[in-house]
Structure 1
């Protein structure tokens, strides 16, 4: 089928199958951590802190990770990050299994996972082009990767909700540890032909500076990264408050919280399927603008929804918009960045996405302490709408329609 054409590539097929299982475990753990922290502390601020420490390393380390990865064998680095992730998951599982409910320890292990992810996500995204045999299948591979991630976002929280109610948090953490075994097996079975690593005579700091200048001077890519930064800071972190919506506003439990996560994942997977079916040459900037509006407006409507099923519908729509927004930017960068700058450009995408979210999560937690969850989410929707309007105005001035090349991938060029 056209929507699954990237699976013709054996290496990507192996990666896809292994990651599918691992990501379900990751989302189970993420759901369990959020619920456990809120159950123990009843603190919106601490929820923000946990999200902050798990993602802030992406802000601080992603540019360095991009330059580091370009100097080393990305396949070996990916195996190393997965092994270290497995050990981190084991440590967290043992902590909870022995009922050692220590919030500082949970925060520390979340920080460790954040450091790993700063390298792991950039490495996986930059390796994607080497997993597909046909370069034209790369956008499809990126979309399928997003589909896989968002299917896990449905299955993981849904399964976690059942397990949390029936057995408690420890089972979720143990299953996440076991979920790393299939992805490691799939990596060992791959047969990748990577380009030879040319040892650079320049320092890694020189390459960092070069990458920054490339991204900042490329107004096309820079505008998309700024849009993503605004969304990551002001809009995406609204989901940090979903445990409060589930428990305080809708008088629910862990299963209710898992419904919110699964609803967002369901919307995301529909969006990902749409992205996977797109043919080459589609205008990713137009898709980005439409997705950003859908995302912002659905968050606005979610803020004051008083009926749980309606709130879940708006949550699903937020998943549609958020996934299409981030995937369109990822695809655009991977298909337009110069080959020698791709890993570094992707690292700035990771920084603008995962690196900024923790700051937004912390900010969201603080604001919610004073304004309450509903008004905080409403303000997030307003900010997203304003950011989209500013972005559209900027693109019109910088790239008039006659000069717009957003639908034409750069010749010789090729998102987590």
Structure 2
């Protein structure tokens, strides 16, 4: 049964359906690409290179994509991107059916996925505030984030089942989902008002960074997320924790990997029903502090169920921070700048996740797994304390809408 908020807002319903189909498609295809690459090469390095093939185009193109999102119709940008994603998956279907699949083909598709998502993400993030009122935005973000977490849980499982029938069927299902996500946006009631065209320049491309530096609320929110994820990337060490500390098998690892997403999903459903209205600044800091504490408990735990509980709390607290941060960034940013600011935020999110995993791996190699996780959690608590002093405007922010 659909949430009543979705039924009352047909424009957001179409947006939500498109996001759900697109996210499900991506989560399914990740299973196929990873499995096939390892099947072809038997190399863990090859799996890492798939991520690099997607990350580098995103890093190089996202600022340009943010400029494009502020200059052209965001709905059309998202539709075109999803059509390109569908065509990319169709290429993998063809390569599988004709027996022409190779690591080079997978790397090429990964690079195209990364480049396309670099344009899709800022346009999508900047489009949502045009479909709902400012007071409805937190609920809309909670529903969207909750659905994304649901696809993170369900997508790989569905993809694995479809893959048993045939790899081309898996990619074919992704094609269908991407096409559906584009089709539902064709009739999206979005009134596009063409802005005054601004030629691409270094000043225009970096204006999102300049805006963030001048706005302490936005700068504090983005940088808090950046450093907390950098220090609290304990999930990167889950395979080691599962095997060497908790002494469980693949089933236990699966439970541990699902726990943060389940916690985030449950919290997003709660926030969609009961959106935050007061003391949002301190609430965000308390949520990040709870994230740090949950990380410490996870690092010290030698019991599977306690570790799962810590990861559930970690995912739930992270979702609170994500909703507040995302809403503040969108509401504090003028519509003409939302694409570029969203692009910078997207870079920070992607970079922090990648570097957070790297940081966890390095500290684990230096100090051991448990000290690395605990130090990351403690570091997160230190960052919270510092940021509450450095960004008083964010700390004392009462309502999401200023």
> Which of the five TM-score ranges fits, normalised by the shorter chain?
0.7 to 0.9
2:208 to 202, 206, 211: 211
1:379 deviates by 2.1
In the aligned structure 2, how far is the partner of 1:22 from the partner of 1:398? 36
Matches within 5 A, 1:285-304: 285-303=281-299
Per-residue deviation, 1:51: 3.0
1:67-96: CA deviation from partner (whole Å, max 9, x where unpaired): 221111111111111111112222334445
Instruction: Verify the 8 A CA contact 2:284 2:321 in the aligned structure 1.
Output: yes
2:396 aligns with: 404
TM superposition score normalised by structure 2: 0.84
Which residue, 184, 187, 205 being the options, matches 1:186?
184
Q: Contact 1:44–1:365 at 8 Å: present in 2 too?
A: no
RMSD (Å) for aligned C-alpha atoms:
3.5
**Match for residue 144 of structure 2?**
145
Q: Distance in 2 between matches of 1:23 and 1:105?
A: 22
- Structure 1 position 287, deviation (Å): 3.0
Q: Secondary structure at the match of 2:180?
A: helix
* CA separation of 1:326 and 1:95: change in aligned 2, threshold 3 A: farther
Report what 1:83 is aligned to: 83
Structure 1 residue 20, shift from structure 2 partner: 1.8
CA contact (8 A) 2:293 2:381 kept: no
TM-aligned CA distance change 1:168 to 1:230, over 3 Å: farther
Q: Which residues in structure 2 correspond to 1:247-396 (within 5 Å)? A: 252-253=249-250, 258-279=254-275, 281-303=277-299, 305-362=301-358, 364=360, 370=365, 375-376=368-369, 379-380=372-373, 382-396=375-389
8 Å contact kept, 1:84–1:116: yes
Q: Secondary structure at the match of 1:409?
A: coil
Q: 2:174 maps to which residue?
A: 176
Match of 1:230 in 2: 227
Match of 2:13 in 1: 13
Structure 2 distance, partners of 1:293, 1:208, is 34
Q: 1:160-175, aligned counterparts within 5 Å? A: 160-163=159-162, 166-167=164-165, 171-175=169-173
TM-score (norm 1): 0.82
CA distance in structure 1 between the aligned counterparts of 2:33 and 2:238, rounded to whole angstroms: 13
Give aligned pairs, total. Answer: 401
Structure scoring higher RCO (CA < 8 A, sep ≥ 6) equals 1
Partner of 1:414: none
Q: Distance in 2 between matches of 1:102 and 1:250?
A: 36
What is the rounded CA distance, in whole Å, between the counterparts of 1:385 and 1:65 in structure 2? 36
CA deviations on 1:21-63 (whole Å, 9 max, x unpaired) are: 3322321222444455566667665544433432344333322
After superposition, give the CA deviation of every residue in 1:153-210 in whole Å (9 maximum; x if it has no partner). Answer: 121133235455x44755433322221122122111222112233223x544222233
**Residues 5 and 137 in structure 1, CA contact (< 8 A), matched pair in contact too:** no
Structure 2 residue 125 is matched with structure 1 residue 128: no
Shift in Å, 1:127: 0.4
In the alignment, the residues of structure 1 paired with residue 256 and residue 320 of structure 2 have an alpha-carbon distance, to the nearest angstrom, of 19
| CA offset digits 1:97-144 (Å, max 9, x no partner) | 666664454333222211111110111110001222x33212211111
Q: Helix, strand or coil for the counterpart of 1:273? A: helix
My pick for the range that moved more, 86-95 or 143-152, is 86-95
Cα separation, 2, equivalents of 1:112 and 1:250: 39
Which residue matches 1:67? 67
